[in-house]
Amino acid sequence: MHLYGTQNVTENGHLTIGQVDAIELTKTYGTPLFVYDTALFRERAQGFINTFKNAGVQAQVAYASKAFSSVAIYQLAAEEGLSVDVVSGGELYTALKAGFPSERIHFHGNNKSYDELILAFDSKIGCIVIDNFDEIVALKQLSEARQQKMHVLIRVTPGVEAHTHDFITTGQADSKFGFDLNNGQADRAFTLLQNHAYLDLQGMHCHIGSQIFDTAAFSLAAKKISDKMGEWYKESGFISQVLNLGGGFGIRYTEEDTPLQPAVYVDDMIKAVQQEMAAFSMPMPEIWIEPGRSLVGDAGTTLYTVGSQKEVPNTRNYLAVDGGMSDNIRPALYDAKYEAVIANKMNDQLVSTYTIAGKLCESGDKLIEDIKLPKAESGDILAVFCTGAYGYSMASNYNRIPRPAVVFAEKGAHQLVVKRESYEDLVKLDLPLTIGKEVNR
């Protein structure tokens, strides 16, 4: 059994997270419950930050908060000296509510609304990552009308697309994001932005994929963008201050996954950029990265209460829990794989094979297929590991299931950071029927 971060097992066979008994947590907060091992988050953050420091390279490590966005996680990110990337007005608002230093907020998105851009300007965020030509027009208008400066990056698609162990290079990247590096779009964006009175072009950004285990794709993307930086330098003397290489660092969900230490990815990126910069006799830019999953993924565990069981003779045994695709859509959406344990039977033999079913009205609502566990009974607590990224953030109220609570645990202490939704919360935006009634006229 693989345990993550501070996870451990008590003498009576209970799982602990952050030196807190997981079963006690379920008694206090109920289930389903997301529990974050904040010490592991801190360790991962410092792993990235220190690698840059050790290499003597100026950097920003921006937490990609789409992986899990809440007031407390932004505060934790601030404590650890991270920057953050936000992709919507909602994420930006949450970061601001958390008191996150606005100059370390980077704003992404392929269709930022006017109101979102206003919020970004009003709160004087650190940088807007420009995605398309319409955004250039909007930002020029806005910054000129307000006579307000804004740092910007151009998001490019370098023609390198990576997933897990494979990557492909494509001449013309078919992506809804960014300016193509190879067909002249990125050059046009550069020309439109160069020497603008208010939009201060800092450099380029790319994000080549997610759950990547190999450093080669990152290095290739870094090389391609560095080459473009060199070209712009030669042609117009423009010196890029920033090269943002996005997120996508892979993590271990199951034994099939073999992630590298953050230092390995980062060192290879740095080397690739240093080589190109030397070739063009250009100063080294700041390198920014945007890890999401690799900061919060394995720090998160979901605790469920086991309910009913169903045997399909000669086929499978279903073990149902009190959550499912409403708190973790990833198995249904991406066929994502997870490992789990019975948190109150950690020392018991793995004698049974189950398919873990959720409680939602959908046959595809299965969290894990064919997992070996101790013999399970109603009331046991199932802990699914590695649910910290894109679990809560992609949660829904399908079937009007209230979204779970979220708790942080560290050094024997625990704290509620997102309350469990109540039935009252579920109807708070609903309004009673009035159409067709006299009162409506």
Residue numbers at the binding site for ligand LLP (CB under 6 A): 64, 67, 85, 108, 207, 210, 246-249, 290-294, 330, 334, 389-390
Is 386 annotated as catalytic? no
CB closer to ligand LLP, 205 vs 414: 205
Identify which of 311, 388, 441, 288 has the alpha carbon closest to the alpha carbon of residue 37: 388
184 is in an annotated binding site: no
Catalytic residue of the set 127, 206, 361, 386? 361
Are the C-beta atoms of residues 52 and 61 closer than 8 Å to each other?
A: yes
Q: Minimal distance in Å, beta carbon 32 to ligand LLP?
A: 18
Strand (E) or helix (H) holding 93: helix 89-97
| 79-101 core/surface letters (b: 16 or more CB in 10 A; e: else) | ebebbbbbbbbebbebbbebebe
290 is in an annotated binding site: yes
CB closer to ligand LLP, 129 vs 341: 129
Structure tokens at 327: 């708190």
233 is in an annotated binding site: no
248 is in an annotated binding site: yes
Q: Minimal distance in Å, beta carbon 158 to ligand LLP?
A: 13
Q: Minimal distance in Å, beta carbon 199 to ligand LLP?
A: 20
390 is in an annotated binding site: yes
SS3 344: coil
Are the C-beta atoms of residues 417 and 73 closer than 8 Å to each other?
A: yes
CB closer to ligand LLP, 333 vs 427: 333
Are the C-beta atoms of residues 342 and 376 closer than 8 Å to each other?
A: yes
Q: What angle do CA 145, 146, 147 make, to 5 degrees?
A: 95
Distance CA 60, CA 127 (A): 12
Q: Minimal distance in Å, beta carbon 246 to ligand LLP?
A: 4
CB closer to ligand LLP, 85 vs 327: 85
441 is in an annotated binding site: no
What DSSP letter does each residue of 30-88 carry, written as one string? -SSEEEEEHHHHHHHHHHHHHHHHHHT--EEEEEEGGGS--HHHHHHHHHTT-EEEE-S
292 is in an annotated binding site: yes
CB closer to ligand LLP, 5 vs 292: 292
Q: Minimal distance in Å, beta carbon 270 to ligand LLP?
A: 18
Backbone angles phi, psi at 139, to 5 degrees: -70, -35
Q: Minimal distance in Å, beta carbon 331 to ligand LLP?
A: 10
Looking at residue 394, the DSSP 8-state letter turns out to be G
Are the C-beta atoms of residues 60 and 83 closer than 8 Å to each other?
A: yes
> What is the β-pairing status of strands 105-107 and 127-130?
parallel
CB closer to ligand LLP, 175 vs 309: 175
Q: Which residues are catalytic?
A: 361
Q: Which residues are annotated as a binding site for substrate?
A: 293, 330, 334, 362, 390
Q: Which residues are annotated as a binding site?
A: 248, 290-293, 330, 334, 362, 390
Q: Which residues are annotated as a binding site for pyridoxal 5'-phosphate?
A: 248, 290-293, 390
